[in-house]
Structure 1
């Protein structure tokens, strides 16, 4: 379904230097929008240089602003005069020392801070929240309890907590709080985008995302003996960026939206890389027995046995028809996304000793 990007007012993208945000910024600039990018440090060229290069080669314009998720009001200068806000800033990592401080506080307090600034900025009429399928489910086993055995937008994650799957818990509490704030007013509209695991090439050479950590393990020999068949959904980062623009500028967009192109697992994902990279990199070629993962997971990969029980050899199923139908989305083939992502990592030396 076609949409027209509103270029009459600036657009704010929080966490503009991030993996997903980079593609949102790129697509907005290509369509002539003026983008206000909120980042931790606008002077850190290693983090924002690629954004400046994008702007120099695009019809749109870019202004970078300093902002912090945990600093109330810090997004107001960046938001001034904007009609649309993309709130993408939120930590995506699973290996943390303090889940409350490292995950929940930035996600929850950051959402509060950004949306309070939206309430205080009368020019804003639309907010697109980058949530996650993690706010819908905690483990692949949760799919069995969903309507018809498939996750849909009516489902909320009730199995994650601060102690178990804290990243998923952080996304859940943050999205719930966002809807509470949005529903308490009537001036601006919010649409939530709920992607599965995001894959595909980045707009910068050194992206920080859990997706690249998984790909690193596939290519550096960590999974040489085999990979656990963890059920999950995946979506190409460029298709996800398109979904964000649809959510912002397509009048049909509303509510929550599952954005996921493929139902797969780690073994099937790795198999897509074999024809091109299999002879050069120690990619996993077989599935590890669940019993072995259950036994050794806590010692070797930090996989809790509860996680193994509820995710390994368990199919992940989700109904993506709402967003596909209302937003007119199409998804790239899995092998295209995987090979372009892995190929980029090879090019920048991600697997070099």
Structure 2
């Protein structure tokens, strides 16, 4: 049982991020003092939402400069904090040439740098780590080896590598490193949040993320001829943020927590969006899997990804987040509609 003081400041790493922005907002609204780390607090663009939150809650938010790969960069921001929420990690799936340099090294070394700072700063009592369902499984095909056919927190991703699903590999490697460091000491405990695909409105205008690229492809005509038969876990960004806070302040919280509102196919998401935004060319049918496999290289998809995911079922158990954290979930349909509406408002989708 770890009691966290309501008056001690909370450190949120990567405070300008998609999930972190909502964590900061909810903490400030609850009256907490927040220490947020960003790459450059003086950056003129990209931090407007944090500055607005700071203006709305005078004296409660302090930003610190910190880089994931700089040893000791988090010590100053962590001073006096009992609770550390480590959200900072790269979230890119395509567009890089060296997966180890772009994804794995920042995720693992960044986690190591933050947790080694926790070892040095004596006030720290608990770390809440933003992991991913990618720490649980790498491909939908992994479900075939799971008794009962449902992924739970007991499962670990063993199918991803630097060459296959490198983003997923970076997440499981970082989480394993975190548990290794935590188990080597006894002063602070570790709780992980393992969200599925995170959708929903962002506090930052025009934020770039894989979540947005997925929504763009649904609505810009990329899947007009048909969507791959791909099923994903989906969760609202606001629920993910609340999960972090519940995990931080619940004295009994421990271990891993899958955060997922349910499973949806790309076609199901497109159907919901077409009902609200009929002027956009959302998919109306699914493409046969053999055709997806055939054209995969043209779509910058690995054929191994298609073989291990497209056309295969997915089931994810979220009971632990509901029963142990007390988390309740927004309806997925509401999440995707609000996300797409914000993309229109921000000019990311051309009005039709």
* Aligned match of 2:86: 87
1:284 corresponds in structure 2 to: 283
The match for 2:156 is 156
- Is the 2:104–2:170 Cα contact (8 Å) retained in structure 1? yes
Q: TM-score, normalised by structure 1?
A: 0.96
Give, in whole Å, the separation in 2 of the partners of 1:55 and 1:253: 29
Matched, 1:104 2:108: no
Query: For the aligned residues, what is the CA RMSD?
Result: 1.4
Cα offsets for 1:293-327 (capped at 9, x unmatched): 0111112x112221111111111111111111111
Deviations 1:143-165 (A, max 9, x none): 22123111111111010000000
- What are the residue-to-residue correspondences of 1:198-277 with 2, within 5 Å? 198-277=198-277
| Residue segments in structure 2 that go unaligned for 5+ positions in a row | none
Aligned to 2:350: 352
Q: Is the 8 Å Cα contact of residues 28 and 60 (structure 1) preserved in structure 2?
A: no
Structure 1 residues 305-320: aligned runs within 5 Å: 305-320=303-318
Which residue is 1:122 aligned to? 122
Q: Is 1:194 the counterpart of 2:206 in the alignment? A: no
Shift of 1:40: 0.4
Q: Which SS does the other structure have where 2:239 is aligned? A: helix
Separation in 1, partners of 2:335, 2:347: 19
Partner of 1:17, secondary structure, is: coil
1:5, CA displacement in angstroms? 7.8
Structure 2 partner of 1:167: 167
- Quote the offset at 1:55 in angstroms: 2.3
Distance in 2 separating the partners of 1:208 and 1:182: 32
* Aligned residues of 2:4 and 2:82 also touching (Cα < 8 A): no
Cα distance, 1:6 vs. partner?
A: 4.0
Structure 1 residue aligned with 2:64: 65
Give yes or no for the alignment of 1:55 onto 2:70. Answer: no
In the alignment, does 2:42 pair up with 1:43? Answer: yes
Deviation per residue, 1:72-109 (Å, 9 max, x gap)? 00011111111110000000111121101100010000
1:333 to 314, 318, 331: 331
Contact 2:199 2:211 (8 Å CA) reproduced: yes
Q: Deviations over 1:44-76 (max 9, x none)?
A: 132212111012223771000000000000011
In 2, Cα distance between the equivalents of 1:323 and 1:182?
21
Judge conservation of contact 1:40–1:67 (CA < 8 Å) in 2: yes
Q: d(CA) in 1 for partners of 2:263 and 2:67?
A: 35
Task: Call closer, same or farther: CA 1:71–1:249 in 2, change over 3 Å.
Answer: same
After the TM superposition, list the runs of 4 or more consecutive aligned residues in structure 1 that deviate by more than 2 angstroms.
Answer: 4-7
Asked whether the equivalents of residues 218 and 283 of structure 1 are also in contact (C-alpha less than 8 Å), the reply is: yes
Counterparts of 1:182 and 1:29 in 2: how far apart (Å)? 28
Q: Secondary structure at the match of 1:46?
A: coil
Match of 1:131 in 2: 131
* Structure 1 segment 1-16 matched on structure 2, within 5 A: 6-16=5-15
Q: Distance in 2 between matches of 1:319 and 1:15?
A: 28
Comparing 290-299 and 56-65, the one that deviates more: 56-65
